[in-house]
Amino acid sequence: MVSRSLIGILAGAAALALSAGGAAAQQKLKVGFIYVGPVGDHGWSYQHDVGRKAIEKAFGDKVETTYVESVPEADSERAIEQLARTGHGLIFTTSFGFMEPTLKVAKKYPNIKFEHATGFKRAPNLSTYAAKFHEGRYIIGQIAGKMSKSGTIGYVGAFPIPEVVAGINSYFLGAQSVNPNIKIKVVWANSWYDPAKEADAAKALLDQGVDIIAQHTDSPAPIQAAEARGKFGFGQASDMERFAPKAQLTAIVDDWSKYYVDRTKAVLDGNWKSQDVWGGIDSGMVVMSPYKNMPDDVKKMAEETEAAIKSGKLNPFKCPIAKQDGSQVECKGNGALSDEQVLGMNFYVKGIDDKLPQ
């Protein structure tokens, strides 16, 4: 699959380079994308591809986009360099593991603009961008806190890394804010993507008295398991309503479209600059899909919380934050945890009974 798509794209790119070579073309901006998964993963890579299509739609004839899917992180340098060599002026690499290869290629081609998702290494021609998904998790936590009848909510996590841990904490803090006695059970699938195992993990949670499932793995299997049992859940990365029309309360959708269009425009206008963006609900990168299958008062609460986060009035990690042992976390941000603290979060907040695997 990998080789198929790689070869296909390389052949296509080569043909394009040949045909464009003679003509005095090159006014067209070529925008390239590197995806870590298949476009059809329903989640992460799929949403980046939605962003790519938005670029095509916004600029029509002025741009041309290419993507290479299912690029293994270890082998990504070749794919990135190939895009650089075939006349791409702007290249998005959309997984954390592409960081070093992107940096390396960016140094080699100083005239090409690079954008790396979720990384932290920048260069004059290399920007980074990511989204504050934990803001959305606070909202779904509140919904879960209100909707749970058993008083125990569940979470299917992929790996115990800071990004996921911050999501669990935010989810739990949200739930706790509306129901101080709420309990949470966390199951680690130790995989980003194993639909059958994710389904089993969700079933295990449901069997143990959980009635709301949240997930930080990539397939719709957990929410589908909730649907089959007549329980509720939340979509991850993209709107998963079609998989669980009765169970999906809302979904945290990664929406890269606006960012991708803005950055493409910046290159076209000649004012692109290297930057670091960590956008939340206010930036439009994190979008909540319509609130459904819940009473009006819960819906109203969710909408109000969303508005409060958007306007900056509410921060899920507002101080004081206590760790499991009750000790206070030092408040390095402005009345809340700083970005660095959230990005490096390696503890559970007070109230979570479980032990965080380290």
Partner 1 sequence: MTTFEAILLTIVTASTPLLIAAMGELVTERSGVLNLGVEGMMAMGAACSFAAAVTFDSTLLGVAAGILAGALMSALFALVVLGFAANQVGSGLALTILGLGLAGLIGAPFVGSRRDPIAVVDVPGLSDMPLIGRLFFEQDLFVYGSIALTVLVAFYLTRTRSGLMLRSVGENHTSAHGLGLPVWRIRFLAILFGGACSGLAGAYLALVYTRFWSPGMTAGRGWIALALVVFAAWRPGWALVGAYIFGAATVLQLHAQAAQFGVPSQVLSAVPYLATILALLALSIRRGRAIGAPGSLGMPFVPDR
Task: Give the torsion sign (CA, 221, 227, 228, 229).
Answer: positive
Asked if residue 151 binds partner 1 (CB under 8 A), the reply is: no
Asked if residue 200 binds partner 1 (CB under 8 A), the reply is: yes
Q: How many residues bind partner 1 (CB under 8 A)?
A: 42
Residues 7-66 that bind partner 1 (CB under 8 A): 38, 40-42
Shorter beta-carbon distance to partner 1: residue 190 or 338? 190
Asked if residue 186 binds partner 1 (CB under 8 A), the reply is: yes
Of 100, 1, 86, 83, which is closest to residue 34 (Cα–Cα)?
83
Q: Using CB under 8 A, which of the segments 16-24, 94-102, 180-188, 291-299 binds partner 1?
A: 180-188
CA angle 106, 264, 311 (to 5 degrees): 110
Residue length, the chain? Answer: 358
Report the residue from 177, 190, 324, 338 that binds partner 1 according to the rule CB under 8 A: 190
Helix extents (H) in the chain? 2-22, 44-59, 76-85, 99-108, 133-147, 162-178, 195-207, 221-228, 257-269, 296-311, 339-343
Interaction mask 224-263, partner 1, x per CB under 8 A = x---x-------------xx--------------------
Asked if residue 73 binds partner 1 (CB under 8 A), the reply is: no
Task: Give the torsion sign (CA, 170, 193, 243, 131).
Answer: positive
Q: How far is the CB of 184 from partner 1 (least distance, A)?
A: 10
Q: How far is the CB of 310 from partner 1 (least distance, A)?
A: 29
Report the residue from 19, 26, 208, 275 that binds partner 1 according to the rule CB under 8 A: 208
Distances in Å between the Cα of 16 and the Cα atoms of 3, 52, 91, 245, 268 are 19, 19, 17, 43, 20
Asked if residue 214 binds partner 1 (CB under 8 A), the reply is: no
Shorter beta-carbon distance to partner 1: residue 105 or 164? 164
* Residue that is written with structure tokens 């021609």 in the block: 125
Residues contacting residue 122 through CB under 8 Å, at least 6 positions apart: 128, 274, 275, 276
Q: Using CB under 8 A, which of the segments 124-132, 255-263, 303-311, 348-356 binds partner 1?
A: 348-356
Q: How far is the CB of 11 from partner 1 (least distance, A)?
A: 16
Paired tokens of 234: 């939340």
List interacting residues with partner 1 (CB under 8 A): 1, 3-4, 38, 40-42, 70, 154, 160, 185-188, 190-191, 193-197, 199-201, 203-205, 207-208, 210, 219-221, 224, 228, 242-243, 353-355, 357-358
